Chains A and B, each alone.
Chain A
């Protein structure tokens, strides 16, 4: 069924616009950006929307996505596993709306010569802003004292307990990539001292570098987890690291939940082995360990570090730009080097 695009105005979005003029993009599960900007994508591409089909995923892919060269995915929904990739013989590009890549079988992509594009640095500032916001919240008890006021306790119970000063605190950044660097820049303006651990030392900064995350923790008042989730970083923040951080220490995680050994984190918080936490990510979202709900020194966010109107629009433009570049055989805007 070919739609007559030459002479008629664009039709309103219908569930199935089928046009041989639009390039196919397979989408397994709607990325969060679709909640706001789906139409921008469906106007330019023929979206094969697996989640809308009654067919099981493998059947849908086999029957309908045989010639799809590009995929749009996100951190939510099914992982882009080797099994799924094998059902897409024409696939040459995986574009993910996330910065993180842990949901994609990178080895399989590398072996098949499939390019990857991600969100690049589109989110780095927003994520850094949230990391700092969570840190200030924990140190200065912003959400806890807001609750106190809303429950009418300021008038009846008196002054809220004291917070802790940010200035002069030693910040240990785990992963000094684009996000970690933005966090460092902000916290320097608060008079904090920055150190870091990263895969490799970064020559463009003069912050002290620690090869070992435990040693970083021992020399820090705060740990901010800014790295991606890989085999090396899974459960990297364990009880040993948390105990090194200490009873006054605070941890902020805007990376991935599984970088921290969540069970051990909860135990340390409940037992007072560390001083507090600001968490945007969890091992098994959207499940959050209920023990954390009782703790006033813990601030919880629903994986929202990238959720601003401005960034979502930028992300939309970037993803469409990547797909358009791919289909016109031009260089991708935000390719991932998959070594």
Chain B
């Protein structure tokens, strides 16, 4: 790959940052001796003007999950060869547009998958055993004044339907097996190396599960995958856990099902329109709400930063990327 890199006066490779990713200040403080970060959001001029003035020769972009990398942006970056996103999620990037322009994409790989799986399991236990609701109960002083707390539901023997058996789904499965749960899944393709029952159809998976755990990415195929039919198949005792992306679930339908008792409960880390959460959920004790923290432990954020920087370094030294996203 011929770079023809044009350095700024500091001789450091340029990395465009349109909007800062989480803890960008740490990228700045730890890596400003390696890269010149071109911080578009700090400029008073409109973005397209900033880019045509400053970014014509920029070859690498450090993405933020909230800002879309689409054709409108790519058109303004004729020299772009690499997009690095510190997230695992890729739904904010137009992958086919990048591909057709010869722009490589690197993400956080599976660095966050254990943390996301841990939270998925934590949310599941919370819903089944009513942990957050009980915590509220105690803090409201209700333990002393009322009879015993309502019964929860045992984890062992529950049938878990994993939607998306990628890195995250596999880690969820491994953990829940240790609790005596049984695992089935739906995925784009059957995974031959796993002996869990595979369902080609998510409604069928739902009908045969006590809980659905959404671990897949958001794509055209998975948008509103979890619709009313799937939710009704899950049933009145069924529990829905989402650590993927909010838009994989038809949120309006889900809220209605929860309010009407058509499903048994939910643990949600992601929502269609973050940070907005449907207010109807606030009144429900069988719902646990998490503000998109699945990958957000200090350890994993550090790992994501390191892998993002590692990808940038590899690119600028003409070495293979650490975690390039391929079409699969």
Contacts and interface: CB of A to CB of B under 8 A. Distances in A.
27 contacts: A126-B155, A129-B129, A130-B125, A137-B122, A139-B297, A142-B131, A146-B132, A146-B289, A148-B291, A154-B277, A155-B275, A155-B277, A162-B301, A163-B293, A163-B298, A164-B298, A165-B114, A166-B114, A189-B177, A191-B114, A285-B143, A300-B139, A302-B148, A307-B151, A307-B152, A308-B152, A309-B154
Contact of A150 (B122, B125, B274, B282): B282
Nearest to A125: B156
A126 B114 CA distance: 23
Contact of B118 (A140, A147, A308): A140
Contact of A165 (B115, B126, B138, B288): B115
Contacts of B139: 293, 300
Contact of A167 (B114, B137, B148): B114
Contacts of A311: 154
A55 B212 CA distance: 54
A286 B143 contact: yes
Given A166-B118, A299-B135, A300-B139, 11 more contacts: A35-B148, A125-B179, A129-B129, A130-B131, A142-B126, A142-B132, A148-B291, A150-B282, A162-B296, A300-B138, A302-B138
A130 B129 CA distance: 7
Contacts of B143: 285-286, 288, 302
Interface in B27-71: none
Interface in A130-162: 130, 132-134, 136-137, 139-143, 145-150, 154-155, 158-160, 162
B116 to A, nearest CB: 11
Interface string B146-184: 011111111111000000000000000011011110000
Contacts of A310: 153-154, 156-157
Interface residues of A, number: 56
Given A35-B148, A136-B122, A288-B143, A142 B298 contact: no
Given A136-B122, A288-B138, A129 B296 contact: no
Contacts of A209: none
B282 A300 contact: no
B131 A299 contact: yes
B119 interface: yes
B144 A286 contact: yes
B148 A133 contact: no
A160 B277 CA distance: 14
Interface of B: 22, 114-115, 118-119, 121-123, 125-126, 129-132, 134-139, 143-144, 147-157, 174-175, 177-180, 274-277, 282, 288-293, 296-301
Nearest to B155: A129
Interface of A: 32, 35-36, 125-126, 129-130, 132-134, 136-137, 139-143, 145-150, 154-155, 158-160, 162-167, 185-186, 188-191, 285-288, 293, 299-302, 304, 307-312
Contact of A189 (B148, B175, B277, B299): B175
A164 B302 CA distance: 12
A49 B114 CA distance: 52
Given A162-B301, A186-B178, A141 B293 contact: yes
B102 to A, nearest CB: 34
B179 A301 contact: no
A302 B179 contact: no
Given A162-B296, A307-B151, A300 B135 contact: yes
Contact of A137 (B131, B155, B156, B175): B131
Nearest to A135: B122
A146 B130 CA distance: 13
A205 to B, nearest CB: 15
A159 B297 contact: no
A163 B121 contact: no
